Amino acid sequence: MARGTATLEVLDETAADGVVERRVLLRTGEAEVPGLHWLPTDPRPSHPTVCMGHGGFQHKRVDNVLALARQLVVDLGVGVVALDAPEHGERESDPGASERTLAALATGDRDARRRAFGREARAAMAARAEAHVAEWAALLDALQQDPRWADGPFGWWGVSMGTTHGLPLTATDDRIAAAVFGLNALRPGDERWETQARAVTVPVLFLTQWDDELMTREASLALWDALGSQDKTLHVNPGRHVEVPRFERRASVDHLGRHLL
């Protein structure tokens, strides 16, 4: 059931290979949030929709989001929607900041890592995450205003920063019926994050990289263990943070299809 007064404006629309891609603008409160909405060329009047959260330093049209979105539409006949997170994509106030930070991190610069992941940076991320979770809830409201777009159930796919936004949304919004999380962690003393994880009760697929340079194995497994879901699956692969095997896309599609269709 729709809960708010958010609106979704369709800016333009293209179609190719059985997939309609719509560039949209979500208006909620004072925020205008750019997004993309993918649909089958002949969608069912009422169909599930998967919400896709991109990773840090990425955006709504990054390659892995686009590829998985199209695969979900073609294989499952569902809708998929993605938004630019605050200070990402079309919402960046400093368009070169992401490139500079990534370049510094690639050199192993400790100061750059401190700026990117230190206490102040994490506090700013938490504030942006809280705002973005509210934007996602508003998007569900807007989608439900027109049954041609989506009437639920809704799923979530998002790893790394996508989990930072998707986990609290899933914990607090009963419209999310299944989720794929991963590349994230529960650090000692983070009681709020642990409480949110325990409030997640929907089926979850959790993706972990065993050699993740950003998340320790122990902290990643702690987050999976804290999830309150009785139906949860952990996939662990060797490799660094951005080296999730491509075959996990198939696992994500199967998981969401099994629980949303």
Q: What are phi and psi of 185, to 5 degrees?
A: -155, 160
pLDDT of residue 126: 80
How far, in Å, CA of 94 to CA of 115, rounded? 15
pLDDT of residue 171: 98
Angle between helix 97-106 and 110-117 (nearest 10): 130
Q: Is 201 left (phi over 0), alpha (psi -120 to 50) or beta?
A: alpha
Say if residues 226 and 191 touch (Cβ distance below 8 Å).
Answer: no
pLDDT of residue 93: 86
Give 2's pLDDT tier (boundaries 50, 70, 90): very low
Q: Mean pLDDT, to the nearest integer, of 229-244?
A: 97
pLDDT of residue 244: 97
Q: Which amino acid is at 20?
A: V
Say if residues 216 and 155 touch (Cβ distance below 8 Å).
Answer: no
CB atoms within 10 A of CB 257: 18
Highest mean pLDDT among 62-76, 86-100, 102-116: 62-76
Highest mean pLDDT among 87-101, 105-119, 172-186: 172-186
> Is residue 104 predicted with pLDDT exceeding 60?
no
Q: What is the pLDDT of residues 137-155, one digit of tens each?
A: 999 999 998 877 777 799 9
> Is residue 172 predicted with pLDDT exceeding 50?
yes
Give the DSSP H/E element, type plus range, for residue 250.
helix 248-260
Q: Mean pLDDT, to the nearest integer, of 18-27?
A: 97
pLDDT of residue 1: 44
E strands present in 117-259: 154-157, 176-182, 204-209, 232-237
- CB half-sphere exposure, 105, CA atoms < 13 A: 15
Give the 3-state secondary structure of residue 195: helix
Sequence-separated (6 or more) residues with CB below 8 Å from residue 183: 55, 159, 160, 163, 207, 208, 209, 212, 214, 215, 220, 241, 244
Give the 3-state secondary structure of residue 156: strand
pTM: 0.92
DSSP secondary structure string, 38-56?
Answer: EEESS--SS--EEEE---T
Domains identified in the chain and CATH numbers: 7-260 (3.40.50.1820)
pLDDT of residue 99: 65
> Is residue 108 predicted with pLDDT exceeding 70?
no
Give 251's pLDDT tier (boundaries 50, 70, 90): very high
Average pLDDT, the chain: 91
Q: What is the pLDDT of residues 117-138, one digit of tens each?
A: 667 777 777 888 999 999 999 9
Q: What is the pLDDT of residues 83-94, one digit of tens each?
A: 999 999 999 987
pLDDT of residue 36: 98
